[in-house]
Amino acid sequence: MAKPAIHAARVVRTVSDTQQPMVPAEPVVGVAPRPVHRFWAFPLAGLSVLALTGILLGSFFTASRFSEVEKPYAIVPSDAEEVQSHVDLRDVESYPVDGEILFVTIRQPELSLLSWLMFRDDDDISLRTYEEVYGTSTPQQVQTRGRRQMFTAQQAAEFVALSKLGFPVDKDPIVLIDQIVCLVVPPQGEPCAPTNEAPSGEVLQADDELVGVDGATVTTTDDIVAALAGKQPGDEIEVEYNRLGVDGTQSGTIELIASPDDPSRTIMGIVPAQDYRISNSPFPIEFNLAGVGGPSAGLAFTLTLIDELTPGSLTGGNTVAVTGEINVNGEVGAIGGLAQKASAVRQTGTKYFLVPATQSEESLAAARAVVGDDVTIIPVATLDEALQALADLGGNAQDVGLPGEDYVAPN
């Protein structure tokens, strides 16, 4: 990044320095520059203009415009911020926390040519190809999936934390539509054109909850497979679905197609995702995290809820950064960009970082190399292991009890 220009200025050292009497100066006889000096002035000025123009163009053009740049995208550290202010608990007693639990974010920008030249050898970033960032999806589909994964992380955190503390809470399996199949791969960076989507896109859209297929109730992806048994491409079936912001269950008719990868297999033209919805939650919990996507804050959410719903200090007064997906069984899943998240943690001065034990050895080694001795990286595989790690740091994580067993909902 460019540093601000420093403009030379005369320094006034004392008051008297500005108050000397006016004395006529001796006339100065000008000396014209030698011709050789005038000759070099024009090329040097031209080179300066070219250099400045190069810098401006390098910051304007993206690295992907140049075929020599194989990896024009990057995973870069973003931020590590505390979770508590993003959680709103109502109709239940909560307690002030001593210490902080941080969740960590990264970004995956497309680099300008100037940024790529400056930071391509920086250990804190990881260069990526378009395919490594987006796979076969479009940027819009990846963004939609990230929002859905964040919602899933919040639901799982709520269920796991409340269950751990003995609160009555249930979960119901649901099937969400991750994306509509695109039959023609769009140009890099562009969304799938509606005319290239599977026929299902005329009725369904990403994030819809699929509740019925051809008259059969759907709660798992296996239910879809069973409903399509014996169907052929070209057959029409009725689907039922719920859509955010629309009251009531919707319905429509879609045409089945052959799988682009396996013409012998009949599909609906959607990518389904198994998920869960919390039911019978004893009190409302809201997470306010606009603009943040992905599942990797699940464990941090879970620990924060436990900390706020119990007296004492879960972290022993420490600031602890946490990353890792969590499922409804309390298992901590691996995440991407661990080294860049470790860099973000180091830059905040945080000393402890809980990470998934399921990360690859290469990923863990890269994270440790980035932080050195500044941050202690603690791998955990389950919620119970995370609580034990916090207890080892001086917290009361093993003494939180079961406050939910005595919970009485307000009238």
CA-closest candidate to residue 75, choices 123, 35, 41, 30: 123
CA distance 27 to 25: 6
Contacts with 341 (C-beta within 8 Å, 6 or more apart), sequence order? 77, 80, 104, 105, 106, 296, 321, 323, 335, 367
Please give the helix or strand (H or E) that residue 359 lies within, else none: none
Q: What pLDDT band is residue 250 in, cutting at 50, 70 and 90?
A: very high
**Average pLDDT for the chain:** 83
Q: What average pLDDT does the segment 56-79 reach? A: 69
Q: How does pLDDT run across 365-411, given as a tens digit for each residue?
A: 999 999 999 999 999 999 999 999 999 999 999 999 999 888 887 76
Is residue 62 scored above 90 in pLDDT?
Answer: no
Q: How does pLDDT run across 29-56, given as a tens digit for each residue?
A: 555 555 555 555 556 555 555 555 545 5
Question: Helix (H) and strand (E) counts for the chain?
Answer: 9, 18
pLDDT of 151: 86
The structural domains of the chain, ordered by start, are 77-113+147-167+284-402 (3.30.230.10), 170-279 (2.30.42.10)
pTM of the model: 0.75
pLDDT of 50: 57
CA-closest candidate to residue 91, choices 286, 284, 309, 307: 284
Burial 319-342 (b: 16+ CB within 10 A, else e): bbbbbbbbbbebbbbbbebbbbbb
pLDDT of 198: 94
- Return the half-sphere exposure (C-beta side, CA atoms, 13 A cut-off) of residue 298: 30
CA distance 411 to 405: 18
pLDDT of 360: 94
CA distance 340 to 102: 15
Q: What pLDDT band is residue 177 in, cutting at 50, 70 and 90?
A: very high
Characterize the bridge pairing of strands 319-322 and 352-356: parallel
